């Protein structure tokens, strides 16, 4: 039996497959929120990642929504018997074994369907299909995968006999030629009610011709965007586009969705007729028309318009996911494009359809989303407190060190401060913001003192994520946290800090994958080495620490004239030492007061534009923390700007500034005036719109 297993077991399985010469592919688990859960590879670039040496799945911790495991078919000939009649399925299996010998066979208890794995005698030939009345036999090849381990969408475990891939090496598989594949398909044709395949030379020619018809799914959509469909009804032209789209996408569901979206632009569009036409192509696949036709028509259309082509039809992308390929076929690029195997190459012709993405931050220019940020500080300087303040600020949508933050939940793994110390620090933070502990419900600090907090061990250069890591990641996902604080690197990294490969895997793969899974940021606190303190760069160990993190901070005490830290100073200097998306060298001067760090100049140092933004953030934070309703009426005793000015959240702003912030928020619809009842009377207060 091969059930899903724990993430650790899945990770070990994928490494075992790679050791045996196979290329593992992460597959969505059956319960994942995906249209092809249980069958579809995770991510549009799954093939590129599987072709890396080693494959990405063997160095990156498994995603919890993708615990099924597939195998890339480049260089393999996996014979997939999609036949539901037990007698016919057994007959086809017997023909395979008689012709090629016994091999690893995947099966499940609730179906006669099966898959037998062999090796291609030469190169990486493409997929071949024999379809008949009673089912089909697919010989999977280049650009495809089969699900080998986990749970089928029907709920049945995937099983192997006599041995599974990984238990046997890829080199031990029987190698079969394309002539032998043709012989097998010819032998199976009558059994499944299919036409006998063409002769061997004709088969080669047909395969060669098919390759010229295919294209990347995004290229197909880009071409369709440029081809107008608003003139007089023309069935022949419509059918021509349908045939070309079918051939270009190998008839998969992404192609169907694209053809529907293009057809829908015409006033005489009929969904049923469009489906019927598409299904007709599967009975009589186009052989002389494909992607080249679409590209030609797109170029012709662009040349005939002044603006370079037709506008993108509204709704074209709705329901279209190019990473989903129901037919499990990866269309090949046109013949004039190079084969860039093993690399994730941007499809530039398709980029004009997409808006340029904006960089996202939890703290603008300081804490990037989907990345790891290192914070180096010597013991006792305050990096733990700084991280805790950041967690509170994101929960309250309040300013942190004078900077705006993205509101979110957070999880912190604190291995050096126990519950008592965390409580003391949180009390000071709570008082600083003028809120109750109930307002910090989205903050999840973990007392991890006295426990084994190692998140990854290493066997040589192979990283082995621990059960602790998987539990920690699951907690972050369960709480919907978008900020994770790890305190510290010394207590969570189970490798050699001077080993670049181990450090890179820990920061660049394990923690970065965590940041990507939560679509947020990971802040990793670290202690500098003695030499790092001496030379002032505050680094530690291998250059892999600095190189793998996309941003790095350094938190220090001020120094005297001799360059020595002033140990009794309440000031701290936070410096952005590295950032891939912002200027390095910016500093924040902080002052320790009443148990927290505050910006030395508060809001006074902000320019006019930032000050207005800060006032609005302070107003919203005050509204959330206020224990009583707040009014927009200036004569009311609970006039919001006046109330908030008297709290730490709004103390940096004058009442008129907070009043202007209130008016701006009301005009944008971020605030509304809502009715509530008090003493059986209708009254009105400000409410935030979320």
Q: Indicate the range of 304-318, 511-525, 607-621 predicted with least confidence.
A: 304-318
Q: Do domains 361-600 and 608-688 have the same CATH topology?
A: no
Name the least confident of 284-293, 631-640, 652-661.
284-293
Residue 293 structure tokens? 């036709």
pLDDT of residue 115: 96
User: Residue 397 pLDDT > 50, yes or no?
Assistant: yes
How does residue 258 score in pLDDT terms, banded at 50, 70 and 90? confident
Region 489-511 average pLDDT = 92
Predicted confidence at residue 215, as pLDDT, reads 60
- Calculate what percentage of the chain has a pLDDT beyond 90: 40
Question: Which is more confidently placed, 145 or 265?
Answer: 145
pLDDT in tens, 312-341: 444 433 333 333 332 333 333 333 334 455
pLDDT digits (tens, 9 = 90+) for 354-388: 678 888 999 999 999 999 999 999 888 999 999 99
Q: Which residue has the tokens 């809001």?
A: 603
Give the mean model confidence (pLDDT) for residues 514-523.
94
The dihedral built from the CA positions of residue 509, 512, 514 and 518, taken in this order, carries a sign that is: negative
Express each pLDDT in 87-104 by its tens digit: 788 888 988 998 999 999
- pLDDT class of 342 with cuts at 50, 70, 90: low
H/E stretch holding 687 reads strand 681-688
Q: What percent of the chain has pLDDT over 70?
A: 85
Please report where in the chains the tokens 């002389």 appear, as a residue.
Answer: 288
CA distances for 390 relative to 321, 375, 387, 402, 644, angstroms? 37, 13, 5, 11, 21
79 neighbors 184 (Cβ within 8 angstroms): yes
**b/e code 541-579 from CB counts within 10 Å (16+ = b):** bbebbbebbbbbbbbbbeeeeeeeeeeeeeebbbbbbbb
Instruction: Name 107's Cβ contacts closer than 8 Å, sequence gap at least 6.
Output: 113, 114, 115, 158, 159, 160, 161
Choice between 645 and 314, residue whose per-residue pLDDT is larger: 645
pLDDT band at 270 (very low <50, low <70, confident <90, very high): confident
Alpha carbons 537 and 553: distance in angstroms, whole number: 10
Confidence (pLDDT) at 2? 45
**Max Cα distance, the chain (Å):** 94
What average pLDDT score do residues 294-320 get? Answer: 52
Mean pLDDT along residues 387-403: 90
Residue 393 near residue 400 (C-beta atoms within 8 A): yes
Residue 312 DSSP code: P
389 or 260, greater pLDDT: 389
Pick the CATH number of 361-600 from 3.90.1150.10, 3.40.50.300, 3.90.650.10, 3.40.50.2300: 3.40.50.300
Query: Is 446 or 256 the better-scoring residue by pLDDT?
Result: 446
- Domain 608-688 fold is Arc Repressor Mutant, subunit A (1.10.10)
Q: Tell me which of 76 and 275 has the higher pLDDT.
A: 76
**Per-residue confidence (pLDDT) for residue 344, from 0 to 100:** 66
So what's the pLDDT on residue 615?
86
pLDDT confidence band for 237 (50 / 70 / 90):
confident
Given a cut of 70, whether residue 459 has pLDDT beyond it is yes
Residues 93-144: tens digit of each pLDDT = 988 998 999 999 999 988 999 999 999 999 999 999 988 777 899 999 999 9
Give the orientation angle of helix 655-668 with respect to helix 608-625, to 10 degrees.
80
pLDDT at position 681: 78
Report the chain's mean pLDDT, rounded to a whole number: 83
Q: Mean pLDDT, to the nearest integer, of 426-441?
A: 87
* Res 16 pLDDT > 80: yes
What is the structure's pLDDT at 219? 67
Q: With cut-offs at 50, 70 and 90, classify the pLDDT of residue 541.
A: low
Alpha helices in 7-122 (DSSP H): 7-19, 46-50, 86-100
Model confidence band, residue 345 (pLDDT cutoffs 50, 70, 90): confident
**Whether pTM exceeds 0.85:** no
- Of 373 and 652, the structure prediction assigns the larger pLDDT to 373
Q: Enumerate residues 6+ apart whose C-beta is below 8 A from 237.
A: none
Residue range 454-464: mean pLDDT, rounded: 91
User: Mean of the pLDDT values across residues 262-271?
Assistant: 87
CA distance 24 to 14: 6
**Of 162, 149, 152, 105, nearest to 11 (Cα)?**
149
Where do the structural domains in the chain lie, given as residue ranges?
7-197, 211-336, 361-600, 608-688
pLDDT of residue 435: 79
């Amino acid at each position: 039996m091969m059930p899903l297993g724990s993430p650790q077991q899945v990770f070990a399985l994928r490494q075992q497959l790679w050791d045996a010469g196979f290329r593992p592919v992460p597959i969505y688990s059956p319960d994942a929120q995906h249209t092809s859960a249980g069958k579809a590879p995770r991510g549009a670039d799954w093939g590129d990642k599987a072709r890396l040496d080693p494959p990405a799945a063997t160095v990156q911790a498994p995603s919890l929504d993708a615990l099924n495991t597939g195998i890339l078919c480049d260089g393999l000939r996996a014979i997939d018997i999609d036949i539901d009649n037990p007698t016919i399925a057994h007959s086809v299996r017997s023909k395979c074994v008689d012709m090629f010998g016994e091999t690893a066979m995947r099966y499940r208890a609730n179906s006669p369907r099966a898959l037998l794995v062999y090796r291609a005698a030469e190169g990486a030939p493409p997929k071949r299909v024999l379809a008949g009345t009673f089912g089909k036999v697919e010989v999977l090849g280049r650009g495809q995968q089969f699900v080998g381990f986990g749970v089928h969408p029907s709920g049945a475990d995937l099983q192997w006999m006599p041995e599974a891939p990984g238990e046997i090496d890829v080199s031990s598989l029987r190698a079969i030629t394309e002539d032998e594949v043709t012989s097998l398909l010819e032998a199976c044709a009558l059994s499944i009610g299919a036409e006998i395949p063409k002769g061997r030379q004709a088969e080669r020619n047909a395969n060669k011709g098919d390759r010229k018809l295919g294209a990347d799914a995004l290229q197909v959509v880009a071409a369709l965007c440029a081809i107008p469909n608003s003139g007089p009804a023309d069935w022949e032209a419509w059918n021509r586009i349908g045939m070309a789209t079918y051939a270009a996408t190998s008839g998969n569901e992404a192609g169907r969705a694209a053809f529907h979206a293009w057809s829908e632009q015409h006033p005489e569009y009929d969904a049923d007729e469009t489906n019927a036409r598409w299904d007709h192509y599967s009975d009589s696949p186009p052989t002389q028309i494909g992607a080249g036709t679409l590209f030609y028509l797109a170029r012709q259309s662009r040349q005939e318009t002044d603006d370079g082509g037709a506008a993108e039809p509204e709704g074209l992308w709705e329901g279209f996911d190019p990473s989903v390929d129901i037919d499990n076929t990866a269309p090949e690029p046109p013949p004039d494009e190079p084969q860039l195997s093993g690399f994730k190459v941007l499809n530039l012709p398709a980029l004009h359809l997409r808006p340029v993405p904006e960089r996202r931050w939890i703290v603008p220019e300081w804490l990037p989303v989907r990345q790891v940020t290192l914070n180096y500080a010597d013991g006792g300087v305050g990096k733990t407190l700084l991280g805790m303040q950041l967690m509170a600020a994101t929960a309250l949508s309040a300013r942190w060190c004078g900077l705006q933050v993205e509101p979110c939940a957070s999880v912190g793994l604190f291995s050096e401060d126990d519950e008592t110390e965390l409580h003391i620090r949180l009390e000071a933070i709570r008082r600083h913001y003028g809120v109750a502990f109930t307002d910090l419900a989205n903050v999840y600090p973990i007392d991890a003192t006295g426990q084994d907090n190692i998140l990854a061990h290493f066997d040589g250069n192979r990283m082995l994520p621990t059960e602790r890591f998987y539990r920690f990641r699951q907690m972050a996902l369960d709480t919907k946290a978008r900020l994770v604080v790890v305190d510290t690197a010394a207590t969570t990294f189970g490798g050699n800090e001077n080993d670049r490969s181990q450090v890179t895997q820990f920061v660049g793969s394990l923690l970065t994958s965590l940041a990507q899974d939560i679509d947020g940021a990971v802040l990793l606190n670290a202690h500098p080495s003695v030499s790092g303190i001496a030379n002032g760069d505050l680094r530690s160990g291998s250059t892999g620490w600095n190189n793998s993190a996309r941003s790095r901070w350094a938190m220090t005490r001020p120094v005297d004239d001799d360059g020595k830290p002033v140990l009794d100073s309440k000031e701290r200097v936070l410096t952005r030492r590295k950032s891939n998306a912002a200027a390095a060298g910016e500093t924040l001067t902080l002052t320790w007061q009443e148990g927290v760090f505050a910006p030395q100049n508060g809001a006074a140092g902000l320019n006019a534009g930032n000050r207005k933004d800060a006032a609005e953030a302070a107003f919203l934070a005050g509204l959330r923390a206020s224990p009583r309703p707040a009014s927009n009426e200036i004569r009311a005793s609970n006039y919001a700007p006046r109330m908030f000015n008297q709290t730490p959240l709004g103390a940096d702003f004058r009442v008129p500034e907070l009043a202007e912030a209130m008016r701006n928020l009301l005009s944008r619809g971020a605030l509304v005036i809502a009715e509530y009842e008090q003493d059986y009377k209708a009254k009105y207060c400000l409410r935030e719109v979320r």
